[in-house]
Structure 1
């Protein structure tokens, strides 16, 4: 009774997969992989540089767009001021409403000048902070230690955790100093 169910079905052998064929790569591809001096860290650096260049390009694009918009807004403001001056010259200056309008215009002008002064002050601070400064000697030393450790431990970058922590601490120290300088 149950003996026929235990036997394998030999009539339908089409479902078997032939695993005897090995995957073969072309010889130029194998030679390229063997001769390649590119490591994981080099690929990571190349990727990081590519990302940085894209971010810089996007920042430059945004700066140009904002500068253009800023110029357009400045032009609109100056046009509005000119039309406001024409209207104030055309209206009669004797009534109380025109005096309050003139006072409001004067206050807006003073506020606008104060804001523009603040903007110029911030721009000069930003321009000063854009300049590249020499790094602290301890940061340079920590960076070189990380680089040499990563070169020595190419296949085991986690072995360099101590050097990386030292580098992070030095950078954090510099950042704290910069923040204190900006805040004060």
Structure 2
């Protein structure tokens, strides 16, 4: 008892093959179209990505156009309201205006001036510093290499290392500016 194992020892792994009772058949037209297709997975993925980007660009353009149109309409309404308020102010004498109305008008103008000043400051901050020519050149080299070696992106390691060196150099100069 116990001198032999209770299960048979497997000497070689057994391969199981599943066979269907009904054969799988594809139409000859489907087989021909798959064999004659020149598209690979990467080209299909690129085509899909380009299609998605174009759709996003179209939607963004529509949104920008609608926002610009709404802005124009609101600007026209505001200017019309301002014109009406200035004519009303001119027609009303200073004696008829209460002191509170005059303060409200001055407050409104001050707020509008503050908003305009803040907009100018924000526009000034939006400008980003240009990256160096070395970084742009290294980036274009990486892109060129990846396009040439579509099926073998690992062949572009030299270009990627060059890009990393340029970015590190740019980061180091930025850190030096901040530290000083």
TM-score by length of 1: 0.59
CA distance in 2, matches of 1:72, 1:164: 55
Distance 1:121 1:37, change over 3 A: farther
1:58-73 matches, cutoff 5 A: 58-73=59-74
CA distance in 1, matches of 2:121, 2:68: 17
Distance 1:143 1:89, change over 3 A: same
Distance 1:165 1:109, change over 3 A: farther
User: Structure 1 residue 151: deviation in Å?
Assistant: 2.5
Bigger CA drift: 143-152 or 37-46?
143-152
CA distance in 2, matches of 1:143, 1:42: 16
Q: Which residue of 2 aligns with 1:147?
A: 147
Q: Which residue of 2 aligns with 1:21?
A: 22
Distance 1:87 1:104, change over 3 A: same
CA distance in 2, matches of 1:102, 1:83: 16
CA distance in 1, matches of 2:38, 2:104: 71
Given that 2:141 and 2:159 are in contact with CA atoms closer than 8 Å, whether structure 1 keeps it comes out as no
Where does the alignment leave 5 or more consecutive residues of structure 1 unmatched? 1-17, 154-159
Q: Report the 3-state secondary structure (helix = DSSP H, G, I; strand = E; otherwise coil) of the residue aligned with 1:151.
A: coil
1:32-51 matches, cutoff 5 A: 32-51=33-52
CA distance in 1, matches of 2:40, 2:158: 19
TM-score by length of 2: 0.61
Given that 1:142 and 1:166 are in contact with CA atoms closer than 8 Å, whether structure 2 keeps it comes out as yes
CA distance in 2, matches of 1:164, 1:79: 63
Q: Which residue of 2 aligns with 1:138?
A: 138
Given that 1:91 and 1:98 are in contact with CA atoms closer than 8 Å, whether structure 2 keeps it comes out as no
Given that 2:142 and 2:160 are in contact with CA atoms closer than 8 Å, whether structure 1 keeps it comes out as yes
More helix as a share of residues: 1
1:166 paired residue among 157, 160, 169: 160
Where does the alignment leave 5 or more consecutive residues of structure 2 unmatched? 1-18, 175-180
Bigger CA drift: 65-74 or 84-93?
84-93
User: Cα RMSD between the aligned structures?
Assistant: 3.9
Q: Which residue of 2 aligns with 1:109?
A: 109
CA distance in 1, matches of 2:21, 2:109: 86
